[in-house]
A and B are shown apart, each in its own frame.
Chain A
């Protein structure tokens, strides 16, 4: 214990890297499914950041936040995938480039 552990900054660096990879996935991929997965990756990067800060400050509130983020992510995935299924049923595609009805 004490100051022997890996510093919090290193965990933050990994979290930043994972968040950026998720951001790349959201911005450059075309399949809505992969974009959803990338959003999950970004949420997980933030979770890692929360848990690392939780240890740094010796308080468990950060871990409680991760708990709530997971609950919200589960709700988001359920609704998001249902929307995706509905879009695929109507348009026969899961590519975000081909779903542009609102664009006119």
Chain B
């Protein structure tokens, strides 16, 4: 029961913040709405027994990535776009395409990928499911190689960002 109430709360706030993010004019407001979405999703991750993911969602996304966004928003000092949305037929096409995509996603969820029948019950999980210790165990055994590749990717990204943002290219 408690999970249902919290799920409703988090999902409503996530969708409301997402709509605010897409349709607000001021870029700083948009960034703060995105923080709201990220925090709501973090709450849902806790409901889904993903405590470690919920923690790094707040640390990495709401902490690091959003600070980067806000920093760039204030650095560029972008004026509010005078027409908020893309003018002309592109806007209508965008809404239409998004609607088609939503109907497709909805159909996949409702039909459960083609397998008709009752929704599968939520299985009972071990008590330490999603804890940092358990995540660490499989991260450093099964997923060790992708983990190391990720560290190389992050280093390339840091070098690339510094090179791109430097004033003189030569």
Contact = CB atoms under 8 A, between A and B. Distances in A.
A20 to B, nearest CB: 4
B21 A25 contact: yes
Interface residues of B, number: 86
Contacts of B7: 6, 10-11
Interface residues of A, number: 74
A81 interface: yes
Interface residues of A: mostly helix, strand, loop or mixed?
helix
A99 interface: no
Interface string B91-134: 10111011101100110011010000001111111000110001
Interface of B: 3-4, 7, 11, 14-15, 18-19, 21-22, 27, 30-31, 34, 37-38, 41, 44-45, 47-50, 52-53, 56-57, 60-61, 64-65, 68-69, 72-73, 75-76, 78, 81, 83-86, 90-91, 93-95, 97-99, 101-102, 105-106, 109-110, 112, 119-125, 129-130, 134-135, 138-139, 142-143, 146, 150, 153-154, 156-158, 160-162, 164-165, 167
